[in-house]
Structure 1
Amino acid sequence: MDNQASRRSGHRVRNAVVALSLGAALFTAGAIGLAPGGSTSGASAPHAAPARGSLGALQARVKLVPKDAGAWAALGMAYVQQARTTADPATYERAEQALKRSLAVQRDDNINAEIGMGALAAARHDFRTALDWARRATTTDPYSSVAQGVLADAYTQLGQYPASYKAVQRMNDLRPDAPALARASYTFELRGETDQAVTLMRRSLDAASTTGERSFAHTVLSTLALQTGDTRQALQESETGLRNAPRDSALLEARARAEASLGQTQQAVADFEAAINIAPLPHYLLGLGELQQSLGHKEQAEAQYAVLRGQETIRRTGHTPADTDAILFEADHGNPARAVTMAQEALKTRPFIAIHDAYAWALHRAGRDEEALGQADQALALGTRSALFRYHRAVIQHALGDDAAARSDLETALHTEPHFHPLHAATARALLKRIDKTS
């Protein structure tokens, strides 16, 4: 669990196209709180997040007081958040420099910098390093709920789900605030228990103390509504959030997906474009590109795909693991064999269910269906209610000649979320129809 990251992930992230990949990083504005005044107790200190402070003010503070370890840590976390919301990887370097400066000033018992380093590693999809820093932070302060959140996020992305549930429970025992309840919601979402996930996310919304926390909750509630086919509720949640945060890119994307599901494609395109103008994140670009493609707007779709290819070139240059949207994009709109390689590399450092799903789809597109089925089964092993995951497995099962299993997954996907993808939902309906005719 995207550090209530760039919107639950990251991302922390969560929509039909990238499935649960945004859950990869659950750090968002207001989600990671660094204890003020050098306090290390996340349980008792006020929940103050570095992203809440002005970046300029933090920069001025460290210039004025260069030995202020807490200010350097807060500046580092502010840079992490800025990188997540602007898609500027160079900002991560500034984050690392600030956090290392904090540790240089105060090497021992520097819980804020340790949490920040864990958040930074998670944002870079280096989850083993994130886990190391999280363990260090929880050793420094066993009573820090925030450190437990970093620990939970790392365990989740490393596929160590029971350990992540334990860390989330510990986080809520220490301090059942909005970030803790959001992570608890996600543990139930991963297991397909959507009703409980919604209940806990509404509790997170009630506990929210910042605009960022409220926006995040509405984004997730909109996504959860879409996952159950309640498109009107999904639209309502996103619009409620946007009334208080009209330039929140994740809420704009959530509204775009709800509008697309309702057939309001012109409004959906406008909202996707608005989100991309704020933050050109890969899943926004892919969502708009595939929507434009479904509408027959080839030039407009290709414009988004061209940006995605440019981002992929930058990623390869930096030798960072691919995320699910990059793998799925390559599988569907590029070179499936390359997508397989990307997924294999990603799985080495991030054996998370969304990576298993993307790997399964890449293998299928590359004609390796027997291998693909094993990966698809792992993607659904927790019981996650993802129409996209179900669709991917159904297509693989059909390719292997198991139409009964394919029918079951297709029916579940379309019942769960009838408009789960601008391109694949129509293909799913057509495939189900063909199977029914031949059976």
Structure 2
Amino acid sequence: MENRQCVGTSLISEAPAPRRRRLVRRLLLAALAGSLATGAVLVLLPAEPQRHRPARPPAAGPQSRPREQALTAVTYGVPAALPGLTALIGRQERLVRERPKDAVAWAVLGSAYVERGRRAGDAADYPRAERALKTSLDVRGARNTGALDGLAALALARRDFPAAKGYAEQAHKAAPKRWSAYPALIDAYTGLGDYEKARAALDKLLALRTDAAARPAVMARAAAVYRDRGWREDAVAQLTDAAAAARTPAERAAWLAGVGQLAWERGDLPEALRHFEAALRLDADQRAAVAGRARTLAALDRTSEALAAYRAAVAHRPRPEDLLELGELYESLGQPGAAEESYARMREAVARSVAGGVDEELLIGRFEADHGDPWEAVERLEEEWRRQPGIEVADALGWALHRAGDDRQALTYAAVATDKAKGGGVRSALYAYHLGVIEAELERTGPARRHLQEALRINPYFSPLWVPLVREALRELGDVPDEPPPSE
């Protein structure tokens, strides 16, 4: 019924006692984060302060266009092209050297660092962003909405939903009619498992008048909420409209990659591949599209192309989640050595990410549950659940408890992840698979069969490693009995 074999080793290996090694790890990670942040942060403050002056207008000419597109994108909270972001950062760094009391320049610099770090997968930009944004806040004070928006975006990039909520609520309180605080509020409430507040915030956002530059970002935010509620068609419509209304190639590529992801989640491989490739034609740096294309090629049994695409995705500043996917693809192909190499690189990527202040507990917990130490996963994910109890954490914690052998407790969390009344409206093949396996272990044969079948109906290609186990579990459960179900 169940595959409890572990490939690879724990992310945190060779430790005597779980709680003691946890403390040692925290101390080491804190020391690493401090040293990397200290070495990475650019010293921008000049020796002598100058009077505050408004930011100077951008220079005209063809060379300034990517930079000015990035400035507009950062201002409106929409995706920007990496070359434009780098050019914008260079300009803002010069500006704050000249004008250290220019709060707007500091806020733009910090927000550009956040966006570049997020897009490039480089968490080393996050300590720089934090310093710039907090400098802006110190210069202007607590009602500095630009800095507060940037800090909320930084907290979201670091998966710190309580901090994101705090900054976004401050920004909203300072200027209640501004639309730009709402997307961060929605994401923060979602990460904290407060789905009613997320939907209420979306309703308020949609009721506001937003200009044409902001409208695609608003539609994309609506699509995310609709997807979480299980409203697939509405989510696709919103993201398609956002892509059509986008003003730059990078922005349009981001929304097309989102449409591709929705197609992937419902198992529509040709549609997913079409949108991922369209996104990459517009913006070759669109990392979600690179990984999505690789995932889709693997599902289409175009294995050589898939491996080449994954290698391209993880060649430079790889995201830990992409390395985990690649490792599991190698496992499914019977290549444990290559899988372990990918997992080793994932550990390195996680360490870099944590050094930049990113909360990687969810990803580490998932890895440990399937490929390492399940009790390590339980310990981490229980703490994560106490801090930010979203449905992703509920699913991961339920699965970790199952892998550790505590199926009764596991069922509690797996049910939360799939319960619409508790926010689990998203149609996830992985969540349905986890719930079905846990129910089968508890000899709840009927519900187990239904949920395993549902996993394959939602997306019969959701994982090259786990789909064969779904089919094996269904074979073990046998056919549905002919007799009618017992009456209440």
Tell me what 1:425 maps to: 467
- Per-residue deviation, 1:316: 6.9
Aligned to 1:49, the other structure's residue is in SS state helix
Match of 2:387 among 349, 355, 369: 349
Cα displacement string for residues 299-332 of structure 1 (whole angstroms, at most 9, x for unaligned residues)? 2111110122334456677886434332111111
Q: Does 1:214 align with 2:252?
A: yes
Aligned to 1:420, the other structure's residue is in SS state coil
**Equivalent AA in structure 2 for residue 237 of structure 1:** H
Distance 1:278 1:210, change over 3 A: farther
Tell me what 1:152 maps to: 186
Give me the TM-score of the superposition, normalised by structure 1.
Answer: 0.86
Where do residues 66-105 of structure 1 align in structure 2 (5 Å cutoff)? 66-105=100-139
Q: Does 1:402 align with 2:444?
A: yes
Q: Find the aligned partners of 1:338 and 1:266 in 2 and give their Cα distance.
A: 35
The runs of 5 or more residues in structure 2 that have no matched partner are 1-53, 57-70, 482-488
Q: Does 1:198 align with 2:247?
A: no
Greater RCO, 1 or 2 (C-alpha within 8 Å, sep 6+): 2
Check conservation: 1:247, 1:278, Cα contact below 8 A.
no
Q: Does 1:285 align with 2:328?
A: no
Q: Find the aligned partners of 1:184 and 1:210 in 2 and give their Cα distance.
A: 20
Match of 1:389 among 414, 424, 431: 431
**Equivalent AA in structure 2 for residue 411 of structure 1:** Q
Give me the TM-score of the superposition, normalised by structure 2.
Answer: 0.77
**Equivalent AA in structure 1 for residue 292 of structure 2:** A
Check conservation: 1:363, 1:372, Cα contact below 8 A.
yes
Check conservation: 1:322, 1:342, Cα contact below 8 A.
no
Distance 1:237 1:420, change over 3 A: same
Distance 1:372 1:118, change over 3 A: same
How many residue pairs match? The answer is 397
Tell me what 2:159 maps to: 125
Q: Find the aligned partners of 2:221 and 2:480 in 1 and give their Cα distance.
A: 45
Tell me what 2:287 maps to: 249
Tell me what 1:276 maps to: 314
Distance 1:249 1:153, change over 3 A: same
Which moved further from structure 2: 113-122 or 388-397?
113-122
Tell me what 1:23 maps to: none
Distance 1:279 1:214, change over 3 A: farther
Q: Find the aligned partners of 1:312 and 1:217 in 2 and give their Cα distance.
A: 27
Q: Find the aligned partners of 1:172 and 1:106 in 2 and give their Cα distance.
A: 30
Match of 1:301 among 332, 339, 362: 339
Match of 1:49 among 61, 71, 74: 74
Distance 1:319 1:228, change over 3 A: closer
Q: Does 1:164 align with 2:198?
A: yes
Tell me what 1:227 maps to: 265
Aligned to 1:67, the other structure's residue is in SS state coil
Q: Does 1:327 align with 2:391?
A: no
**Equivalent AA in structure 2 for residue 354 of structure 1:** E
- Per-residue deviation, 1:99: 0.5
Distance 1:320 1:277, change over 3 A: closer
Check conservation: 1:322, 1:343, Cα contact below 8 A.
no
Aligned to 1:289, the other structure's residue is in SS state helix
Q: Find the aligned partners of 1:318 and 1:403 in 2 and give their Cα distance.
A: 45
- Per-residue deviation, 1:120: 1.5
Q: Does 1:65 align with 2:118?
A: no
- Per-residue deviation, 1:139: 1.3
**Equivalent AA in structure 2 for residue 361 of structure 1:** W
Which moved further from structure 2: 207-216 or 160-169?
207-216
Distance 1:317 1:345, change over 3 A: farther
Where do residues 358-377 of structure 1 align in structure 2 (5 Å cutoff)? 358-377=396-415
Check conservation: 1:238, 1:255, Cα contact below 8 A.
yes
- Per-residue deviation, 1:188: 1.2
- Per-residue deviation, 1:85: 3.1
Quick one: percent identity of the two aligned structures? 38
- Per-residue deviation, 1:86: 3.7
Distance 1:239 1:164, change over 3 A: same
- Per-residue deviation, 1:170: 1.9
Q: Find the aligned partners of 2:95 and 2:354 in 1 and give their Cα distance.
A: 36
Aligned to 1:277, the other structure's residue is in SS state coil
- Per-residue deviation, 1:368: 0.6
Distance 1:85 1:93, change over 3 A: same
Q: Find the aligned partners of 1:47 and 1:135 in 2 and give their Cα distance.
A: 23
Check conservation: 2:126, 2:356, Cα contact below 8 A.
no
Distance 1:311 1:72, change over 3 A: same
Q: Find the aligned partners of 2:262 and 2:351 in 1 and give their Cα distance.
A: 33
Q: Does 1:436 align with 2:478?
A: yes
Distance 1:219 1:420, change over 3 A: same
Distance 1:316 1:345, change over 3 A: farther
Tell me what 2:5 maps to: none
Distance 1:95 1:318, change over 3 A: closer
Q: Find the aligned partners of 1:56 and 1:317 in 2 and give their Cα distance.
A: 24
